[in-house]
A and B are shown apart, each in its own frame.
Chain A
Protein backbone atom coordinates (compact mmCIF):
# COMPACT_ATOMS: atom_id res chain seq x y z
CA UNK A 1 0.00 0.00 0.00
CA UNK A 2 2.57 2.55 1.06
CA UNK A 3 5.84 3.18 -0.60
CA UNK A 4 8.58 2.00 1.69
CA UNK A 5 11.47 4.46 1.67
CA UNK A 6 14.65 3.03 0.29
CA UNK A 7 18.07 4.26 1.21
CA UNK A 8 18.81 7.41 -0.76
CA UNK A 9 15.14 8.20 -1.40
CA UNK A 10 15.11 11.28 0.81
CA UNK A 11 18.29 12.96 -0.16
CA UNK A 12 17.88 16.72 -0.16
CA UNK A 13 20.45 19.44 -0.30
CA UNK A 14 21.35 21.16 2.96
CA UNK A 15 19.95 24.46 1.66
CA UNK A 16 16.59 22.81 0.99
CA UNK A 17 16.72 21.04 4.32
CA UNK A 18 17.29 24.35 6.10
CA UNK A 19 14.28 25.85 4.40
CA UNK A 20 12.30 22.93 5.77
CA UNK A 21 13.88 23.43 9.20
CA UNK A 22 12.61 27.03 9.26
CA UNK A 23 9.11 25.75 8.62
CA UNK A 24 9.43 22.73 10.83
CA UNK A 25 10.13 24.74 14.00
CA UNK A 26 6.68 26.28 13.71
CA UNK A 27 4.95 23.04 12.69
CA UNK A 28 4.39 24.38 9.19
CA UNK A 29 5.70 21.42 7.23
CA UNK A 30 3.53 18.92 5.46
CA UNK A 31 3.95 15.35 6.64
CA UNK A 32 5.99 14.26 3.64
CA UNK A 33 8.26 17.29 4.00
CA UNK A 34 8.72 16.44 7.65
CA UNK A 35 9.69 12.93 6.67
CA UNK A 36 12.22 14.18 4.13
CA UNK A 37 13.70 16.52 6.70
CA UNK A 38 13.86 13.84 9.36
CA UNK A 39 15.78 11.60 7.02
CA UNK A 40 18.19 14.40 6.15
CA UNK A 41 18.78 15.35 9.78
CA UNK A 42 19.47 11.74 10.55
CA UNK A 43 22.34 11.86 8.09
CA UNK A 44 23.61 15.45 8.37
CA UNK A 45 25.16 16.62 11.64
CA UNK A 46 25.56 20.23 10.44
CA UNK A 47 21.89 20.55 9.76
CA UNK A 48 21.14 18.89 13.09
CA UNK A 49 23.06 21.62 14.92
CA UNK A 50 21.44 24.24 12.70
CA UNK A 51 18.09 22.83 13.65
CA UNK A 52 18.99 23.00 17.36
CA UNK A 53 19.97 26.68 16.96
CA UNK A 54 16.74 27.38 15.17
CA UNK A 55 14.70 25.74 17.91
CA UNK A 56 16.52 27.93 20.49
CA UNK A 57 15.80 31.09 18.50
CA UNK A 58 12.14 30.18 18.20
CA UNK A 59 12.03 29.49 21.92
CA UNK A 60 13.14 33.09 22.50
CA UNK A 61 10.28 34.24 20.29
CA UNK A 62 7.76 32.07 22.10
CA UNK A 63 8.99 33.25 25.51
CA UNK A 64 8.54 36.79 24.30
CA UNK A 65 5.03 35.95 23.12
CA UNK A 66 4.04 34.34 26.42
CA UNK A 67 5.61 36.91 28.72
CA UNK A 68 4.74 40.15 27.01
CA UNK A 69 2.18 42.18 28.88
CA UNK A 70 -0.54 43.05 26.47
CA UNK A 71 -2.52 46.22 26.19
CA UNK A 72 -5.23 46.90 28.73
CA UNK A 73 -8.64 45.30 28.48
CA UNK A 74 -10.35 48.65 28.11
CA UNK A 75 -12.87 48.60 25.30
CA UNK A 76 -12.32 51.01 22.48
CA UNK A 77 -15.95 50.89 21.37
CA UNK A 78 -17.00 53.90 23.47
CA UNK A 79 -14.32 56.05 21.86
CA UNK A 80 -14.98 54.66 18.41
CA UNK A 81 -18.72 55.28 18.78
CA UNK A 82 -18.12 58.85 19.92
CA UNK A 83 -15.81 59.50 17.00
CA UNK A 84 -18.30 58.00 14.55
CA UNK A 85 -20.99 60.29 15.96
CA UNK A 86 -18.63 63.28 15.73
CA UNK A 87 -17.92 62.54 12.12
CA UNK A 88 -21.58 62.05 11.33
CA UNK A 89 -22.52 65.37 12.89
CA UNK A 90 -19.60 67.00 11.10
CA UNK A 91 -20.83 65.53 7.83
CA UNK A 92 -24.35 66.78 8.54
CA UNK A 93 -23.00 70.22 9.36
CA UNK A 94 -20.97 70.36 6.19
CA UNK A 95 -24.00 69.30 4.13
CA UNK A 96 -26.09 72.34 5.18
CA UNK A 97 -23.91 75.12 3.77
CA UNK A 98 -23.43 72.98 0.71
CA UNK A 99 -27.16 73.16 0.00
CA UNK A 100 -27.13 76.93 0.53
CA UNK A 101 -24.23 77.19 -1.82
CA UNK A 102 -26.10 75.30 -4.55
CA UNK A 103 -29.16 77.54 -4.03
CA UNK A 104 -26.99 80.62 -4.35
CA UNK A 105 -25.51 79.36 -7.59
CA UNK A 106 -28.96 78.67 -9.03
CA UNK A 107 -30.22 82.11 -7.96
CA UNK A 108 -27.15 83.73 -9.46
CA UNK A 109 -27.68 81.89 -12.75
CA UNK A 110 -31.33 82.95 -12.84
CA UNK A 111 -30.38 86.58 -12.17
CA UNK A 112 -27.76 86.47 -14.90
CA UNK A 113 -30.26 85.06 -17.39
CA UNK A 114 -32.84 87.73 -16.52
CA UNK A 115 -30.23 90.44 -16.81
CA UNK A 116 -29.06 89.11 -20.17
CA UNK A 117 -32.65 88.95 -21.42
CA UNK A 118 -33.38 92.51 -20.31
CA UNK A 119 -30.17 93.74 -21.95
CA UNK A 120 -31.03 92.04 -25.22
CA UNK A 121 -34.56 93.40 -25.22
CA UNK A 122 -33.29 96.92 -24.49
CA UNK A 123 -30.81 96.72 -27.32
CA UNK A 124 -33.40 95.68 -29.89
CA UNK A 125 -34.04 98.45 -32.44
CA UNK A 126 -37.38 100.18 -31.90
CA UNK A 127 -39.80 100.91 -34.73
CA UNK A 128 -41.59 104.17 -34.06
CA UNK A 129 -43.99 103.55 -36.86
CA UNK A 130 -47.20 102.04 -35.66
CA UNK A 131 -48.91 99.32 -37.55
CA UNK A 132 -51.77 101.70 -38.30
CA UNK A 133 -49.52 104.13 -40.15
CA UNK A 134 -49.09 101.62 -42.90
CA UNK A 135 -51.84 101.39 -45.36
CA UNK A 136 -51.76 97.89 -46.82
CA UNK A 137 -54.39 98.79 -49.40
CA UNK A 138 -52.81 102.15 -50.34
CA UNK A 139 -51.05 103.00 -53.55
CA UNK A 140 -47.70 102.02 -52.08
CA UNK A 141 -47.00 98.39 -51.45
CA UNK A 142 -45.51 97.34 -48.10
CA UNK A 143 -41.83 98.08 -48.22
CA UNK A 144 -39.22 95.46 -47.55
CA UNK A 145 -37.81 96.52 -44.20
CA UNK A 146 -34.37 95.29 -43.28
CA UNK A 147 -32.55 96.68 -40.28
CA UNK A 148 -28.95 97.45 -40.95
CA UNK A 149 -26.56 97.72 -38.04
CA UNK A 150 -23.73 100.06 -38.68
CA UNK A 151 -20.41 100.07 -36.96
CA UNK A 152 -20.01 103.41 -35.15
CA UNK A 153 -18.18 105.83 -37.37
CA UNK A 154 -17.61 109.48 -37.10
CA UNK A 155 -19.26 109.76 -40.38
CA UNK A 156 -21.42 112.52 -41.83
CA UNK A 157 -24.56 111.65 -43.73
CA UNK A 158 -26.08 114.39 -45.79
CA UNK A 159 -24.46 116.94 -43.58
CA UNK A 160 -25.77 115.38 -40.35
CA UNK A 161 -23.47 113.76 -37.81
CA UNK A 162 -24.25 110.10 -37.31
CA UNK A 163 -24.62 108.87 -33.72
CA UNK A 164 -21.89 106.50 -32.55
CA UNK A 165 -24.15 103.48 -32.46
CA UNK A 166 -27.00 103.47 -34.83
CA UNK A 167 -29.37 100.96 -36.25
CA UNK A 168 -30.87 102.09 -39.52
CA UNK A 169 -33.80 100.53 -41.24
CA UNK A 170 -33.37 99.66 -44.82
CA UNK A 171 -36.38 100.54 -46.93
CA UNK A 172 -36.62 98.97 -50.35
CA UNK A 173 -39.16 99.87 -52.96
CA UNK A 174 -39.78 96.56 -54.75
CA UNK A 175 -40.98 98.25 -57.90
CA UNK A 176 -38.18 100.70 -58.48
CA UNK A 177 -35.59 98.79 -56.46
CA UNK A 178 -34.55 102.01 -54.79
CA UNK A 179 -33.17 101.70 -51.29
CA UNK A 180 -33.31 104.19 -48.46
CA UNK A 181 -31.98 104.04 -44.98
CA UNK A 182 -34.10 105.35 -42.17
CA UNK A 183 -33.11 106.25 -38.65
CA UNK A 184 -35.96 104.74 -36.61
CA UNK A 185 -35.48 107.25 -33.82
CA UNK A 186 -35.40 110.48 -35.78
CA UNK A 187 -37.27 109.12 -38.83
CA UNK A 188 -34.62 110.79 -40.95
CA UNK A 189 -34.17 109.10 -44.31
CA UNK A 190 -30.79 108.75 -45.94
CA UNK A 191 -30.11 107.95 -49.49
CA UNK A 192 -28.50 104.64 -50.23
CA UNK A 193 -25.73 106.21 -52.25
CA UNK A 194 -23.97 107.20 -49.10
CA UNK A 195 -24.28 103.72 -47.65
CA UNK A 196 -21.28 102.43 -49.56
CA UNK A 197 -19.12 104.46 -47.23
CA UNK A 198 -20.49 102.64 -44.22
CA UNK A 199 -19.49 99.21 -43.06
CA UNK A 200 -22.45 96.97 -42.32
CA UNK A 201 -22.00 94.96 -39.12
CA UNK A 202 -25.06 92.78 -39.10
CA UNK A 203 -26.74 92.23 -42.40
CA UNK A 204 -29.25 89.70 -41.07
CA UNK A 205 -32.81 90.64 -41.84
CA UNK A 206 -35.20 91.03 -38.97
CA UNK A 207 -38.92 91.41 -39.13
CA UNK A 208 -40.10 93.72 -36.46
Chain B
Protein backbone atom coordinates (compact mmCIF):
# COMPACT_ATOMS: atom_id res chain seq x y z
CA UNK B 1 0.00 0.00 0.00
CA UNK B 2 2.67 2.46 -0.99
CA UNK B 3 1.39 5.96 -1.25
CA UNK B 4 3.10 8.87 -2.85
CA UNK B 5 4.18 11.14 -0.06
CA UNK B 6 3.42 14.80 -0.51
CA UNK B 7 6.43 17.01 -0.90
CA UNK B 8 6.26 20.24 0.96
CA UNK B 9 7.42 23.27 -0.98
CA UNK B 10 9.82 25.86 0.41
CA UNK B 11 7.04 28.24 1.15
CA UNK B 12 5.30 25.60 3.21
CA UNK B 13 7.58 26.42 6.05
CA UNK B 14 5.57 29.56 6.71
CA UNK B 15 2.84 27.36 7.96
CA UNK B 16 4.93 25.69 10.62
CA UNK B 17 3.90 26.03 14.21
CA UNK B 18 6.85 28.30 14.84
CA UNK B 19 5.40 30.70 12.27
CA UNK B 20 8.89 31.41 11.06
CA UNK B 21 10.05 31.57 7.50
CA UNK B 22 13.75 30.88 7.25
CA UNK B 23 13.71 31.75 3.57
CA UNK B 24 12.16 35.12 3.94
CA UNK B 25 15.30 36.90 5.00
CA UNK B 26 18.02 36.71 2.38
CA UNK B 27 20.53 38.53 4.54
CA UNK B 28 20.78 35.53 6.81
CA UNK B 29 19.35 37.35 9.80
CA UNK B 30 16.74 35.44 11.77
CA UNK B 31 13.35 35.98 10.21
CA UNK B 32 10.86 38.11 12.07
CA UNK B 33 7.87 36.17 13.33
CA UNK B 34 4.48 36.64 11.77
CA UNK B 35 3.13 37.85 15.09
CA UNK B 36 5.64 40.69 15.23
CA UNK B 37 4.95 41.68 11.65
CA UNK B 38 1.22 41.64 12.30
CA UNK B 39 1.78 43.82 15.33
CA UNK B 40 3.73 46.31 13.22
CA UNK B 41 1.12 46.27 10.48
CA UNK B 42 -1.61 46.95 13.02
CA UNK B 43 0.28 50.04 14.08
CA UNK B 44 0.09 51.18 10.46
CA UNK B 45 3.56 50.11 9.38
CA UNK B 46 3.27 49.24 5.70
CA UNK B 47 6.74 47.70 5.67
CA UNK B 48 5.69 45.02 8.12
CA UNK B 49 2.62 44.19 6.13
CA UNK B 50 4.73 44.19 2.98
CA UNK B 51 6.93 41.51 4.51
CA UNK B 52 3.88 39.44 5.33
CA UNK B 53 2.64 39.79 1.75
CA UNK B 54 6.01 38.76 0.33
CA UNK B 55 6.10 35.84 2.71
CA UNK B 56 2.68 34.48 1.81
CA UNK B 57 1.81 35.74 -1.66
CA UNK B 58 3.07 32.77 -3.67
CA UNK B 59 1.36 30.30 -1.44
CA UNK B 60 -1.91 32.21 -1.38
CA UNK B 61 -1.84 32.60 -5.14
CA UNK B 62 -1.22 28.88 -5.59
CA UNK B 63 -4.18 28.04 -3.38
CA UNK B 64 -6.47 30.50 -5.15
CA UNK B 65 -5.25 29.23 -8.50
CA UNK B 66 -6.32 25.72 -7.52
CA UNK B 67 -9.89 26.90 -7.27
CA UNK B 68 -9.72 29.36 -10.12
CA UNK B 69 -8.47 28.33 -13.55
CA UNK B 70 -7.95 31.93 -14.67
CA UNK B 71 -4.44 33.20 -13.83
CA UNK B 72 -5.32 36.88 -13.96
CA UNK B 73 -8.37 36.40 -11.80
CA UNK B 74 -6.33 34.37 -9.33
CA UNK B 75 -3.88 37.24 -9.09
CA UNK B 76 -6.67 39.77 -8.56
CA UNK B 77 -8.21 37.64 -5.86
CA UNK B 78 -4.83 37.27 -4.16
CA UNK B 79 -4.47 41.04 -4.09
CA UNK B 80 -7.99 41.37 -2.76
CA UNK B 81 -7.28 38.80 -0.05
CA UNK B 82 -4.26 40.73 1.20
CA UNK B 83 -6.13 43.99 1.04
CA UNK B 84 -8.98 42.54 3.04
CA UNK B 85 -6.55 41.06 5.54
CA UNK B 86 -4.96 44.50 5.97
CA UNK B 87 -8.33 46.14 6.51
CA UNK B 88 -9.35 43.51 9.05
CA UNK B 89 -6.09 43.27 10.97
CA UNK B 90 -7.86 44.80 13.96
CA UNK B 91 -10.18 41.81 14.06
CA UNK B 92 -7.31 39.32 13.94
CA UNK B 93 -6.70 37.50 17.20
CA UNK B 94 -2.93 37.79 17.78
CA UNK B 95 -2.92 34.69 19.96
CA UNK B 96 -3.67 32.65 16.85
CA UNK B 97 -1.59 32.03 13.74
CA UNK B 98 -1.72 34.50 10.90
CA UNK B 99 -1.37 31.96 8.09
CA UNK B 100 -4.64 30.04 8.54
CA UNK B 101 -6.51 33.31 9.00
CA UNK B 102 -5.10 34.68 5.76
CA UNK B 103 -5.83 31.49 3.83
CA UNK B 104 -9.36 31.48 5.18
CA UNK B 105 -9.89 34.98 3.81
CA UNK B 106 -8.45 33.96 0.45
CA UNK B 107 -10.53 30.78 0.19
CA UNK B 108 -13.74 32.56 1.21
CA UNK B 109 -13.10 35.34 -1.29
CA UNK B 110 -12.50 32.79 -4.01
CA UNK B 111 -15.72 30.95 -3.24
CA UNK B 112 -17.64 34.24 -3.18
CA UNK B 113 -16.25 35.03 -6.59
CA UNK B 114 -17.05 31.58 -7.96
CA UNK B 115 -20.62 31.86 -6.68
CA UNK B 116 -21.02 35.26 -8.30
CA UNK B 117 -19.74 33.84 -11.57
CA UNK B 118 -22.14 30.93 -11.28
CA UNK B 119 -25.09 33.27 -10.66
CA UNK B 120 -24.10 35.43 -13.61
CA UNK B 121 -23.88 32.29 -15.70
CA UNK B 122 -27.40 31.36 -14.73
CA UNK B 123 -28.72 34.80 -15.59
CA UNK B 124 -26.89 34.73 -18.90
CA UNK B 125 -28.52 31.40 -19.60
CA UNK B 126 -31.97 32.88 -19.01
CA UNK B 127 -31.29 36.07 -20.91
CA UNK B 128 -29.94 34.45 -24.04
CA UNK B 129 -32.20 32.94 -26.62
CA UNK B 130 -32.68 29.20 -26.50
CA UNK B 131 -31.42 28.71 -30.03
CA UNK B 132 -27.97 29.98 -29.17
CA UNK B 133 -27.77 27.56 -26.29
CA UNK B 134 -28.85 24.47 -28.16
CA UNK B 135 -25.80 22.31 -28.84
CA UNK B 136 -25.00 21.85 -32.46
CA UNK B 137 -24.90 18.11 -33.22
CA UNK B 138 -22.46 18.69 -36.08
CA UNK B 139 -19.77 19.98 -33.72
CA UNK B 140 -18.03 17.58 -31.44
CA UNK B 141 -18.31 17.83 -27.69
CA UNK B 142 -15.63 20.33 -26.57
CA UNK B 143 -15.06 18.22 -23.46
CA UNK B 144 -13.38 15.63 -25.65
CA UNK B 145 -10.56 18.04 -26.35
CA UNK B 146 -9.79 18.93 -22.78
CA UNK B 147 -6.39 18.06 -21.43
CA UNK B 148 -5.86 16.24 -18.16
CA UNK B 149 -5.65 19.33 -15.98
CA UNK B 150 -8.86 20.75 -17.40
CA UNK B 151 -10.56 17.40 -16.95
CA UNK B 152 -9.45 17.20 -13.33
CA UNK B 153 -10.52 20.76 -12.70
CA UNK B 154 -13.97 20.03 -14.06
CA UNK B 155 -14.25 16.94 -11.90
CA UNK B 156 -13.08 18.89 -8.87
CA UNK B 157 -15.75 21.49 -9.58
CA UNK B 158 -18.35 18.75 -9.17
CA UNK B 159 -17.20 18.08 -5.60
CA UNK B 160 -19.19 20.13 -3.05
CA UNK B 161 -17.37 23.18 -1.69
CA UNK B 162 -16.78 21.99 1.86
CA UNK B 163 -15.16 18.79 0.58
CA UNK B 164 -13.35 20.43 -2.32
CA UNK B 165 -11.62 22.84 0.04
CA UNK B 166 -10.28 20.01 2.14
CA UNK B 167 -9.22 18.01 -0.90
CA UNK B 168 -7.41 20.92 -2.52
CA UNK B 169 -5.68 22.10 0.62
CA UNK B 170 -4.61 18.63 1.72
CA UNK B 171 -3.92 16.73 -1.50
CA UNK B 172 -2.96 19.49 -3.90
CA UNK B 173 -1.35 22.04 -1.61
CA UNK B 174 0.08 19.72 1.00
CA UNK B 175 -1.45 21.31 4.08
CA UNK B 176 -1.51 19.00 7.09
CA UNK B 177 -4.85 17.92 8.53
CA UNK B 178 -4.39 20.27 11.47
CA UNK B 179 -3.61 23.16 9.13
CA UNK B 180 -6.71 22.48 7.07
CA UNK B 181 -8.66 22.37 10.32
CA UNK B 182 -7.23 25.77 11.28
CA UNK B 183 -8.04 27.30 7.90
CA UNK B 184 -11.58 25.98 7.81
CA UNK B 185 -12.18 26.39 11.56
CA UNK B 186 -13.32 22.79 11.93
CA UNK B 187 -12.08 20.02 14.17
CA UNK B 188 -9.44 17.63 12.89
CA UNK B 189 -11.90 14.75 13.17
CA UNK B 190 -14.30 16.61 10.87
CA UNK B 191 -11.51 17.29 8.43
CA UNK B 192 -10.47 13.65 8.37
CA UNK B 193 -14.02 12.57 7.71
CA UNK B 194 -14.46 15.20 5.00
CA UNK B 195 -11.16 14.25 3.45
CA UNK B 196 -12.21 10.62 3.16
CA UNK B 197 -15.54 11.65 1.66
CA UNK B 198 -13.90 14.15 -0.71
CA UNK B 199 -11.53 11.50 -2.05
CA UNK B 200 -14.42 9.11 -2.53
CA UNK B 201 -16.43 11.79 -4.36
CA UNK B 202 -13.49 12.66 -6.56
CA UNK B 203 -12.92 9.05 -7.45
CA UNK B 204 -16.58 8.48 -8.30
CA UNK B 205 -16.80 11.67 -10.38
CA UNK B 206 -13.59 10.79 -12.19
CA UNK B 207 -14.75 7.26 -12.97
CA UNK B 208 -18.13 8.57 -14.16
CA UNK B 209 -16.37 10.94 -16.48
CA UNK B 210 -14.11 8.25 -17.82
CA UNK B 211 -17.07 5.98 -18.48
CA UNK B 212 -18.99 8.69 -20.34
CA UNK B 213 -15.87 9.50 -22.34
CA UNK B 214 -15.46 5.86 -23.34
CA UNK B 215 -19.13 5.64 -24.29
CA UNK B 216 -18.83 8.72 -26.48
CA UNK B 217 -15.76 7.36 -28.19
CA UNK B 218 -17.55 4.07 -28.81
CA UNK B 219 -20.52 5.96 -30.30
CA UNK B 220 -18.23 7.98 -32.55
CA UNK B 221 -16.38 4.92 -33.82
CA UNK B 222 -19.63 3.05 -34.53
CA UNK B 223 -20.93 6.12 -36.40
CA UNK B 224 -17.83 6.27 -38.63
CA UNK B 225 -18.08 2.54 -39.35
CA UNK B 226 -21.62 3.04 -40.64
CB contacts (< 8 Å) of A55 on chain B: these are 3
CB contacts (< 8 Å) of B20 on chain A: these are none
Interface size class of B (residues with CB under 8 A): 35 or more
Q: Is B172 engaged at the interface, CB distance under 8 Å to the other chain?
A: yes
Contact check, B83 vs A84: say whether CB atoms are below 8 A apart: yes
Interface size class of A (residues with CB under 8 A): 35 or more
Given A26-B171, A65-B172, verify A76-B53 contact (CB < 8 Å): yes
Contact check, B82 vs A80: say whether CB atoms are below 8 A apart: yes
Question: Bound state CA distance, A83 and B85, in angstroms?
Answer: 13
Q: Is B4 engaged at the interface, CB distance under 8 Å to the other chain?
A: yes
Taking the nearest CB of chain A, how far is it from the CB of B201, in angstroms? 10
Given A53-B207, A76-B61, verify A64-B172 contact (CB < 8 Å): yes
Contact check, B62 vs A70: say whether CB atoms are below 8 A apart: yes
Question: Bound state CA distance, A144 and B46, in angstroms?
Answer: 78
Q: Determine the residue in chain A with the shortest Cβ distance to B53.
A: A77
5 residue pairs, one from A and one from B, having the closest CB atoms: A22-B196, A57-B203, A64-B152, A22-B199, A77-B53
Query: A residues bordering B, Cβ < 8 Å?
Result: 18-19, 22-28, 34, 37-38, 41, 51, 53-55, 57-65, 67-68, 70-77, 79-81, 83-84, 87
CB contacts (< 8 Å) of B196 on chain A: these are 19, 22-23
Which of these, B54, B75, B200, contacts A77 with CB under 8 Å? B54
CB contacts (< 8 Å) of A26 on chain B: these are 3, 6, 170-171, 195, 199
Q: Determine the residue in chain A with the shortest Cβ distance to B82.
A: A80
Contact check, B3 vs A76: say whether CB atoms are below 8 A apart: no
Cβ proximity bits B168-195 to A, threshold 8 Å, 1 near / 0 not: 0011100001000000000000001001
Taking the nearest CB of chain A, how far is it from the CB of B183, in angstroms? 16
Given A79-B79, A80-B79, verify A27-B3 contact (CB < 8 Å): yes
Contact check, B75 vs A72: say whether CB atoms are below 8 A apart: yes
- B residues 20-59 near A (Cβ < 8 Å) are 46, 49-50, 53-54, 57-58
Contact check, A59 vs B4: say whether CB atoms are below 8 A apart: yes
Taking the nearest CB of chain A, how far is it from the CB of B38, in angstroms? 15
Question: Bound state CA distance, A157 and B109, in angstroms?
Answer: 83
Contact check, B148 vs A64: say whether CB atoms are below 8 A apart: yes
Given A54-B199, A64-B148, A73-B58, verify A24-B79 contact (CB < 8 Å): no
Taking the nearest CB of chain A, how far is it from the CB of B177, in angstroms? 6
- With most chain B CB atoms within 10 A of its CB, the pick from A34, A63, A76 is A76
CB contacts (< 8 Å) of A79 on chain B: these are 79
Contact check, A77 vs B57: say whether CB atoms are below 8 A apart: yes
Contact check, B57 vs A76: say whether CB atoms are below 8 A apart: yes
- With most chain B CB atoms within 10 A of its CB, the pick from A24, A28, A58, A87 is A28
Contact check, B83 vs A71: say whether CB atoms are below 8 A apart: no
